[in-house]
């Protein structure tokens, strides 16, 4: 390996908008993010799913008979 061509690998701090802070190592000393695993709804279990009930039935009603026997 060539010497003095690689960036410095230093201790880094990743800060989220929610206040959660993670200490790690990186070539960038500080990083700020909007969402993290501590506050993102998917990871916290607070995710809300859009109710799509009826869409499949409407599709089958509209196109089901036409495409049922085709391969």
The domain segmentation of the chain, as residue ranges, is 1-44
Report the pLDDT value the prediction gives residue 38, as an integer from 0 to 100: 83
The H or E element that residue 65 is part of is helix 65-67
Q: What is the pLDDT of residue 51?
A: 55
Strands 30-33 and 21-26: unpaired
Question: Is the pLDDT confidence value at 16 over 70?
Answer: yes
Q: Summarize pLDDT for 28-58 with one digit per residue, the tens.
A: 999 998 888 888 777 677 766 665 667 777 7
The per-residue pLDDT of the chain, averaged, comes to 81
- Yes or no: say if 25 and 10 are a contact pair by the CB < 8 Å rule: yes
Instruction: Write down the pTM of the prediction.
Output: 0.53
1-44 has which fold? Answer: Rhinovirus 14, subunit 4 (4.10.80)
């Amino acid at each position: 390996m060539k010497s003095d061509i690689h960036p410095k690998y230093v201790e880094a701090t990743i800060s989220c908008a929610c206040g959660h802070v993670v200490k790690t190592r990186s070539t960038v000393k500080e990083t700020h993010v909007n969402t993290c695993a501590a506050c993102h709804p998917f990871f916290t279990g607070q995710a809300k799913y859009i109710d799509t009930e009826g869409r499949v039935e409407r599709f089958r009603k509209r196109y089901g008979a036409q495409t049922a026997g085709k391969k």
